[in-house]
């Protein structure tokens, strides 16, 4: 897929993976629109990269999503929708009753999963109208093996994995030219993972792999440990689960 001259919308584009993607898509000649909930962070990106269009928007809010669609339409539309926004709650002890469990789970599901469907539904006809277009959904190595300190986050990424496969299949059945890419990162060194003991790869490496995959029309893009985890989780699922979730994880729940 050619990136030069394309317009891409990146949700959660003001920090972490989204910010790195903003930089690299610009470097590849794309026009970039980013969203985020924090206006100060958006302003900082705009100051550093004046060519970027920033729109404050929350993917979990249906009204925000509609306003975003309307604004993007006025700007001339997009060729690529990159569903990057995501949140992960802190460690939850599921064995202790607490309303915070449900609140955190609802928030993660609404942003990580329903937010993707919400935007895809709004933009799909626009993308279908383009000569060459794509949707990028961010899953995770946790799509294959859950992390017991982030149960709902793991569940939302497993849901995104299944949803992405079926979305791609449905569009092919409809003879649509919209390409559907799935990015499956390992742990990435961002603010979301700074409290984890596992050392993550740098966002630059992840986005390099993403862009290389898009250019080659590689629809499933597994990066780093996600490649090995995919293979071995099918061969020895119990062993891999224990490797991802060692017994000393439990101390973080206390």
Burial (CB < 10 A; 0-12, 13-18, 19+), residue 154, is buried
Q: Which residues contact 147 (CB under 8 A, 6 or more apart)?
A: 153, 154, 244, 245
* Helix axis angle, 16-27 to 203-215, nearest 10°: 50
Residue 26 CB neighbour total at 10 angstroms: 15
Q: Which two tokens stand for residue 138?
A: 């961010």
Burial (CB < 10 A; 0-12, 13-18, 19+), residue 77, is middle
Q: Which residues contact 92 (CB under 8 A, 6 or more apart)?
A: 100, 101, 104, 149, 151, 152, 253
Are 184 and 143 in contact, with CB atoms under 8 Å apart? yes
Please name which of 112, 200, 184, 202 lies closest in space to residue 144, comparing C-alpha atoms: 184
Are 252 and 149 in contact, with CB atoms under 8 Å apart? yes
* Residues carrying an active site annotation: 153
Please report, for the chain, how many H helices and E strands are present, in that order. Answer: 9, 7
């Amino acid at each position: 897929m050619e990136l030069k001259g394309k317009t891409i919308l990146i949700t959660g584009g003001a920090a972490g993976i989204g910010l790195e993607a903003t930089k690299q898509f610009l470097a590849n000649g794309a026009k970039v629109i980013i969203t985020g909930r924090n206006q100060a962070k958006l302003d900082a990106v705009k100051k550093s990269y004046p060519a970027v269009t920033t729109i404050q928007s929350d993917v979990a809010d249906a009204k925000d999503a509609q306003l975003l669609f309307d604004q993007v339409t006025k700007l001339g539309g997009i060729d690529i929708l990159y569903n990057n926004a995501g949140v992960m709650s802190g460690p939850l002890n599921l064995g202790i009753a607490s309303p915070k469990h449900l609140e955190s789970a609802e928030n993660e599901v609404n942003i990580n999963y329903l937010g993707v469907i919400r935007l895809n539904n709004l933009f799909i006809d626009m993308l279908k109208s383009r000569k060459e277009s794509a949707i990028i959904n961010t899953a995770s190595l946790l799509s294959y093996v859950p992390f017991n300190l982030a149960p709902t986050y793991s569940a939302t990424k497993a849901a995104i994995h299944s949803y992405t496969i079926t979305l791609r299949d449905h569009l092919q059945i409809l003879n649509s030219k919209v390409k559907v890419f799935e990015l499956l990162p390992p742990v990435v060194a961002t603010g979301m993972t700074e409290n984890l003991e596992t050392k993550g790869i740098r966002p630059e490496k992840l986005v390099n792999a993403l862009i290389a995959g898009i250019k080659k029309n590689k629809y499933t893009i597994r990066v780093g440990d996600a490649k090995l985890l995919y293979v071995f989780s099918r061969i020895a699922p119990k062993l891999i689960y224990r490797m991802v979730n060692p017994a000393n994880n439990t101390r973080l729940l206390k």
